[in-house]
Chain A
Amino acid sequence: MAYVDWLLKGPKIASCNCDYGCPCEFNGRPTRGVCEGLEAQRIEEGYFGDLRLDGLVVGARYRWPGPVHEGGGVAQGFIDERASEDQRAALLKILGGQEQEPTTVFNIYGSTIAKELDPVFAPIEFACDIPARTGRLVVQDVMEMTIEPIRNPVTGLPHHAIIRLPEGFEFREAEVASGTFSGEGAELGFRNRDCYAALTYVAYGPYGIVT
């Protein structure tokens, strides 16, 4: 099938309430039964057809009552308020799984979502240093996340671990780190400390990860 050509390319940071090394990356069950977290990508290079998306930040927060693949999730997208009406519409199409194969990250996660909250348009602060394993996200007045290296519990030294998923649909290689995040909201409010975080540089298009 023919799709509008689009691209989202840039650094991505994510954190969830699982322990370091999130078992879901390996098809295990989430550490605490429930899965909740957030992710964001800064679009260093991006377009949807003729429309440029460069420089915008886009992301989502979510919660599932059990493992992701058992469904029943609640999700909410967030988009840089600097995005124009056209850019917002384009990004919501991509996040919504339109104009892409069913095997892309947005469609696979999308198929597990039972309820989608209205998207947030807000000023977004985004920082990601993959080699240093540090990151920061602030979606003004709604949520924030800080990422730093995992520490060895005995020596206190940073623990360097990289997950490689040669056939991954979300990333092919990610640096594993420690995330602390919190967010406001009746349905998707959360507060988690020192749990799983990942930093990656990734490009998505209509057919999945672009390598």
Chain B
Amino acid sequence: MAHVDWQIQGPELSTCNCDWGCPCQFNARPTQGHCRAAVGMRIDRGHFGDVQLDGLHWISLLAWPGAIHEGDGEVLAIVDERADQRQRDAILTILAGEETEPGATIFNVLAATLATVHKPQFLPVEFEVDLESRSGRFAVPGVVEARSEPIRNPVTGEPHYARLVLPHGFEYTEAEFASSTTKASGLIAHDWTQSHGHFAMLHLTPNGPVR
């Protein structure tokens, strides 16, 4: 099927309530039986048809009562308030998994598991990541703040470098694992410290990640 030509490319910071090394990345069940997540991305280069998306951010707050694939989840998308109407529509279309081959992107896969899609919000987004040091942060003042830092060895206190490669992944091909601390209030409330986080350079299109 023909889709609108689009791509988004840039750093992503994903945080969730699982222990370090989120079992879901391996098709195991979430550490605490249910999945909650806060994900943010800066689009360094992106377009949707003739709409340019460079420099814009998006954030998704997500929650499921069990494992993601068991469904019944909810999502709140927050799009950079600097986006104009066409850019907002474009980003929300991508995040909804539309204009995408079935199963090709994480957005399309997750869409099938979401029972509630809250009305999107358009707010200022703060986003800074340093993939080299696995440190980063994104925030929407008053709604969410997610921070990430290296995992520490429990004995030596040294940073623990761990990478996951998913050659057929629908989100990333390679991600750096980290430790996250996230708080969110409002429609989807989050609160965790020293949980799973990962950094990846996303490059997604209607046909999935560019490898």
Interface string of B133-162 (1 = CB under 8 A from A): 000000000000000000111110000111
Stretch at the interface among A50-58, A87-95, A154-162: A154-162
CB distance from A14 to the nearest CB of B (A): 15
Q: In the complex, which residues of chain B have a beta carbon less than 8 angstroms from the beta carbon of A164?
A: 162-165
Contact residues on A (Cβ < 8 Å of other chain), bracket: 20 to 34
Given contacts A150-B27, A153-B27, contact A28 B21 (CB under 8 A): yes
B166 CB-CB contact with A under 8 Å: yes
Contact of B151 among A20, A26, A159, A162 (CB under 8 A): A26
How many angstroms between the C-alpha atoms of A45 and B180 in the bound complex? Answer: 42
- The residue of chain B having its C-beta at the shortest distance from the C-beta of A167 within the complex is B161
Q: Are A23 and B23 in contact (CB under 8 A)?
A: yes
Q: Are A27 and B154 in contact (CB under 8 A)?
A: yes
Q: In the complex, which residues of chain A have a beta carbon less than 8 angstroms from the beta carbon of B177?
A: 26
DSSP class of A's interface residues: helix, strand, loop or mixed? loop
Given contacts A27-B153, A69-B154, contact A152 B27 (CB under 8 A): yes
Q: In the complex, which residues of chain B have a beta carbon less than 8 angstroms from the beta carbon of A163?
A: 162-165
Interface string of A115-146 (1 = CB under 8 A from B): 00000000000000000000000000000000
CB distance from B193 to the nearest CB of A (A): 14
**Which of B25, B29, B167: most chain A Cβ within 10 A?**
B25
How many angstroms between the C-alpha atoms of A22 and B162 in the bound complex? Answer: 13
Q: Are A25 and B162 in contact (CB under 8 A)?
A: yes
B20 CB-CB contact with A under 8 Å: yes
How many angstroms between the C-alpha atoms of A159 and B168 in the bound complex? Answer: 8
The count of A-to-B residue pairs whose CB atoms sit within 8 angstroms is 85
Contact of A154 among B29, B69, B151, B167 (CB under 8 A): B69
How many angstroms between the C-alpha atoms of A149 and B52 in the bound complex? Answer: 41
How many angstroms between the C-alpha atoms of A28 and B152 in the bound complex? Answer: 10
Contact of A165 among B20, B25, B161, B166 (CB under 8 A): B161
Within 8 A of A (CB), among B36-75: 67, 69
A–B pairs, 25, beta carbons within 8 Å: A19-B26, A19-B28, A20-B23, A20-B26, A20-B28, A21-B26, A23-B20, A25-B162, A26-B20, A26-B151, A26-B162, A26-B196, A27-B151, A28-B20, A28-B21, A31-B28, A160-B166, A161-B25, A161-B26, A161-B165, A162-B164, A163-B165, A165-B162, A165-B163, A196-B26
Additional 20 contacts, C-beta under 8 A, given A22-B21, A150-B26, A176-B26 = A19-B26, A20-B27, A21-B21, A21-B25, A23-B21, A25-B21, A26-B160, A26-B162, A27-B20, A27-B153, A28-B20, A67-B154, A69-B155, A152-B27, A159-B27, A163-B164, A163-B165, A164-B163, A165-B163, A167-B161
The interface of chain B, by Cβ under 8 A from chain A, is 19-23, 25-29, 31, 67, 69, 151-155, 160-168, 177, 196
The interface of chain A, by Cβ under 8 A from chain B, is 19-23, 25-29, 31, 67, 69, 150-154, 159-167, 176, 196
Closest 7 CB pairs of A and B: A26-B21, A21-B26, A19-B28, A20-B26, A28-B19, A162-B165, A20-B28
